[in-house]
């Protein structure tokens, strides 16, 4: 198919759910099978230091979509209620998403897969094609989905079904206007056992899983972590979920090539947050422990961007970037402005995408939050502050890259600790909306029930399960 409107590239944004940064062959994991994503990395730019804005799905997804941190958009935990039914809540109502700006500039926007930002029944944020999960996760067969405004149960394997819908969206593309397509897989989120095609599970029957060392259980591990289950079966299922998803990514790339629009299409691949499969003695992400954790395995995500002919191929970038940088980068890539850009924390990493030097990027500091837990991270140091009482953490990432030795109380580092805490406070004061300030929300990691801030006053906002 000839693309008649070539002023702006098409965009396919593939977002996975709970994929650790280590769970790709191209990152050095020789045990996991991801040939199609490895190929995508060889045809584009892979980032080794891409951080989510919060290490749990709904806040991280909201930050990707709006460019705001959780203490600006008000989603502080995964959305537990308000997805379907009479009390559905549009958690991001009134907050500009980049998809709205794309739609205003002629893009046809489609979503296939996970939404999990409230009110899953109503298309919103510029999307005209809307095929979404009713909540945020489920079994992979007979999954609760929404098609054409109707609640349904999908009998097929969910990862395949999401891809089929995305391919149908591409089939309807007439080449007149550019398109934006979000393909949001629930993979590799749990459940893992008896939920994935046997052909993929069998690939890992003899796997040693050296990439997922089963360390001693972390003392903060939550009670719902799958420690009592068959760990080997969990690992086989997790790896199978990744490989099944990888095959479907290959189907999408092949479709773009068959349509003759691969070089006119930017493909972005990210996960919402990282994940631990035994790393640090944790099964889960930021809420795999309580208090919530900010280990790199939780806050780093895989990140690949590819458009042959425009972006370098086979390039690995070590620059520090965050999910709150995604929106300004994407908008710059398609030459669309944002009216509220001055109030947003992110900055475009477009030069890094193009393989160019990004002046000032070496001085970039990464910030993260999960309710009352906040993190500041440089290349050399990480400091984690838990309001109001701690415990706090600090890691020397040069000498302790795996974050084993908490040096927060080391006497000779107290001046440095104070400087990092001051920088952390200054940054959040600059960007936090006081009405949505996470340090005032009793976030437990077990889900958000209502709107945060004044709109949620008088009602229980978070629940401890």
pLDDT in tens, 219-244: 999 988 887 678 999 999 999 999 99
State the CB neighbour count (10 A cutoff) for residue 176. 10
Q: What is the pLDDT of residue 225?
A: 85
Please report which confidence band the pLDDT of residue 286 belongs to, taking 50, 70 and 90 as the band edges: very high
Is 465 in contact with 78 (CB distance < 8 Å)? no
Answer whether residue 450 is part of any domain. no
Among 26, 106, 11, smallest CA distance to 64 is for: 11
Beta-strand ranges (E) seen in 41-197 are: 45-51, 108-113, 127-133, 143-147, 150-154, 179-184
Digit-coded pLDDT (tens) for 179-193: 999 999 999 999 999
DSSP output for 288-345 = GBSS----HHHHEEEEEEE-BTTB-SSEEE---EEGGGHHHHHHHHTT---TTGGG-S
Is 77 in contact with 371 (CB distance < 8 Å)? yes
Partners of 385 in the β-ladder = 374
Answer whether residue 426 is part of any domain. no
Answer whether residue 70 is part of any domain. yes
For residue 461, pLDDT beyond 90 = no
Answer whether residue 377 is part of any domain. no
Neighbouring residues of 347: CB distance < 8 A, sequence distance ≥ 6: 325, 328, 364
**Structural domains in the chain (count):** 1
Place of tokens 């397509």: 181
Digit-coded pLDDT (tens) for 38-96: 999 999 999 999 999 999 999 999 999 999 999 999 999 999 999 998 889 999 999 99
Answer whether residue 374 is part of any domain. no
Q: What is the pLDDT of residue 402?
A: 97
- The CATH number that applies at residue 314 is 3.40.720.10
The two three-digit tokens of residue 449, written as one number: 């029930």
The two three-digit tokens of residue 78, written as one number: 């995964």
How many whole angstroms from its chain centre is CA 15?
A: 7
State the CB neighbour count (10 A cutoff) for residue 116. 25
Answer whether residue 455 is part of any domain. no
Distance from C-alpha of 374 to C-alpha of 108, rounded to nearest angstrom: 37
The Cα angle at residue 304 between residues 334 and 36, in degrees rounded to 5:
120
Task: Read off the pLDDT of each residue in 309-326 and give the average, rounded to a whole number.
Answer: 97
The two three-digit tokens of residue 56, written as one number: 């749990």
Neighbouring residues of 321: CB distance < 8 A, sequence distance ≥ 6: 47, 49, 50, 51, 303, 349, 352, 364
Neighbouring residues of 117: CB distance < 8 A, sequence distance ≥ 6: 58, 61, 62, 65, 75, 79, 91, 92
Q: What residues make up the domain containing 268?
A: 10-364
Partners of 118 in the β-ladder = 90
Answer whether residue 15 is part of any domain. yes
Answer whether residue 402 is part of any domain. no
The two three-digit tokens of residue 276, written as one number: 């631990």
Q: What is the pLDDT of residue 229?
A: 72
The two three-digit tokens of residue 228, written as one number: 């009592």
């Amino acid at each position: 198919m000839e693309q008649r409107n070539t002023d702006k590239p098409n965009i396919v944004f593939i977002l996975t759910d709970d994929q650790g940064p280590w769970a790709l062959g191209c990152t050095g994991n020789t045990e996991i099978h991801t040939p199609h994503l490895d190929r995508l990395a060889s045809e584009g730019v892979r980032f080794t230091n891409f951080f989510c804005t919060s290490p749990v799905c709904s806040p991280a997804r909201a930050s990707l979509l709006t460019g705001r941190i959780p203490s600006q958009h008000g989603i502080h935990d995964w959305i537990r209620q308000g997805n379907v039914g009479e009390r559905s809540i549009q958690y991001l109502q009134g907050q500009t998403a980049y998809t709205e700006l794309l739609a205003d500039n002629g893009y046809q926007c489609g979503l296939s897969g996970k939404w999990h930002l409230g009110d899953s029944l109503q298309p919103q944020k510029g999307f005209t094609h809307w095929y979404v999960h009713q909540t945020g996760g489920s079994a992979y067969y007979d999954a609760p989905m929404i098609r054409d405004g109707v609640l349904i149960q999908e009998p097929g394997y969910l990862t395949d079904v999401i891809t089929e819908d995305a391919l149908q969206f591409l089939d309807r593309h007439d080449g007149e206007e550019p398109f934006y397509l979000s393909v949001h897989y629930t993979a590799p989120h749990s459940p893992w056992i008896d939920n994935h095609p046997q052909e993929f599970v069998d690939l890992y029957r003899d796997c040693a899983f050296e990439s997922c060392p089963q360390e001693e259980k972390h003392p903060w591990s939550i009670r719902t972590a799958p420690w009592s289950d068959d760990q080997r079966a969990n690992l086989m299922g997790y790896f199978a979920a990744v490989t099944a998803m990888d095959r479907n990514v290959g189907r999408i790339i092949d479709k773009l090539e068959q349509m003759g629009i691969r070089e006119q299409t930017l493909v972005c691949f990210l996960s919402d947050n990282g994940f631990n499969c035994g790393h640090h003695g944790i099964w889960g992400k930021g809420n795999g422990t309580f208090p919530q954790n900010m280990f790199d395995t939780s806050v780093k995500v895989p990140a690949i961007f590819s458009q042959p002919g425009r972006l370098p191929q086979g390039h690995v970038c070590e620059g520090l970037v965050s999910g709150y940088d995604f929106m300004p980068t994407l908008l710059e890539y398609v030459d669309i402005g944002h009216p509220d850009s001055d109030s947003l924390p992110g900055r475009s990493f477009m030069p890094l995408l193009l393989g160019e030097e990004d002046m000032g990027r070496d001085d970039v500091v990464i910030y993260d939050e999960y309710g009352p837990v906040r993190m500041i991270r440089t290349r050399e140091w990480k400091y984690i502050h838990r309001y109001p009482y701690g415990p706090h953490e600090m890691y020397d990432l040069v000498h302790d890259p795996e974050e084993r030795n908490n040096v927060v109380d080391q006497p000779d580092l107290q001046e440095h600790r104070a400087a990092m805490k001051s920088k952390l406070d200054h940054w959040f004061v600059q960007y936090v909306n006081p009405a949505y300030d996470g340090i005032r929300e009793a976030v437990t990691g077990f889900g958000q029930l209502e709107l945060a801030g004044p709109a949620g006053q008088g009602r229980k906002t978070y629940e401890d399960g």
